Structure 1
Amino acid sequence: MAKIHDSKLVEKFIYHKRNFFKNTYCVFTAVDRSILADKKPDYTSRSGSQYYYTTAGVYRISSHWGRAATCKWRIQTDVSNVKNGAKVGFAKWTSFYKDNEVEKLYYIQKSRFTQKYEYFHKEEPSYATEYILRTAVDTKKVLRQLKVITSETKWAKYIPHDDLEDLRQFLINGLITSTKTLQELKRAYNSD
């Protein structure tokens, strides 16, 4: 297995066309499908996803993103890039990171692209130590809580507050930068 040393003196596994599809996390960038107009896919999966390999990375055309077999692959796109439900994305080989259910690999932050709270891998350049790392299961739990906090208001009637947005920000910040539970944060809101 090929490994390199990065600037942090930590070994980083090198992904390529023969191993990127095994237990990985990646955020693909949407690209215009015309880039692949005259090309034939190097591989087509049983579910119909098409893959085009380059020395720099991989293009993927697929109608399903998120969970792909043993991988967590997301695409940053808008509606204009969708044709027949399929989206085209590109990812550099260096944008793939290991994924598993037991290690604390994920943190949550607001995506600059979607403006929603999403999970990211600790190996991504945007990671800062202020964010709490969690397992995949714990990350999903916190994301569900964040969705309720940001999209509903019924939960707030049980917490004394004068400013809903201030309360939301307090809870959101606490969930993504501390190990406190949502219940602990709700109790702590007015006690400071």
Structure 2
Amino acid sequence: MTKLNYHKQNFFKNTYCIFKSVDFQIVKNKKPNFVSKSGSQYFYTDEGVYRISTHWGRAATCKWRLQTDAETFKNGKKLGFAKWSSFYKDNEVEKLYFIKKSAFSNKYEYFHKNEASYTIEYVLRTSGDTRKVLRQLKTITTETKWAKYIPHDDLEDLRTYLINGLITTNKTLPELKRMY
């Protein structure tokens, strides 16, 4: 399968991308090439696009995440940069996404199958199925009441088993719980 080439004319149509947080000084005194109806500002370069926005995650028909190690805001807005080569196609029907623990945030997040970190150990899912598993992972990692119904001696061992099962197999959470 050939990768689509994204650029300023098509990057905003059904794409997935992880933007990297950058300093506002980069676009200081520059006029945006485009301002969306919601107020997001876009600055195009030959390498990629800078985006200033108050909202990240789902943006219109896109899934754009901002990777930031600091809470750098300017009037509630954050600035991110993404290379054109960092954009990937997105839709609701293809199995495009896998889940793994992000080395950056230390949380379970979804990633596109065309990213370099993808290996065959991870199960590919549709967007909807990925969202469902991410909700389950959040419950497993942040709550404990679900565990009282599963015989176990070590909660962390149980969590590890369920998490690995959810991200590397097509087994459902109830199946994994019964198998433990």
Name the TM-score class by shorter chain. Answer: over 0.9
Q: Which of the numbers 103, 106, 128 marks the counterpart of 1:137?
A: 128
- 2:54 maps to 1:60: no
* 2:4 matches 1:19: no
Which of 143, 147, 151 does residue 152 from structure 1 map onto?
A: 143
- Secondary structure class of the residue paired with 2:3: strand
Moved over 4 A (4+): none
Deviation at 1:78, TM superposition (A): 3.5
Alignment-derived partner of residue 176 in structure 1: 167
Q: Which residue of 2 aligns with 1:128?
A: 119
What 5-or-longer segments of structure 2 have no aligned partner? none
Q: Normalising by structure 2, what TM-score?
A: 0.98
The residue type paired with residue 95 of structure 1 is S
Alignment of structure 1 residues 1-192 onto 2, 5 Å: 10-189=1-180
**Deviation string for 1:39-93 (max 9, x for gaps)?**
1100000100000000000000000000101000000013432222211000000
**How far off its partner does 1:122 sit?**
0.3
List alignment gaps of at least 5 residues for structure 1.
1-9
Q: Distance in 1 between matches of 2:76 and 2:47?
A: 26
The alignment-based identity, stated in percent, is: 72
Number of aligned pairs?
A: 180
Rounded to whole Å, the distance in 1 between the matches of 2:100 and 2:33 is 35
1:82 and 1:123 mapped to 2: Cα distance? 30
Tell me the distance in 1 between the aligned counterparts of 2:3 and 2:64.
19
What root-mean-square deviation, in Å, do the aligned CA atoms of Structure 1 and Structure 2 show? 0.8
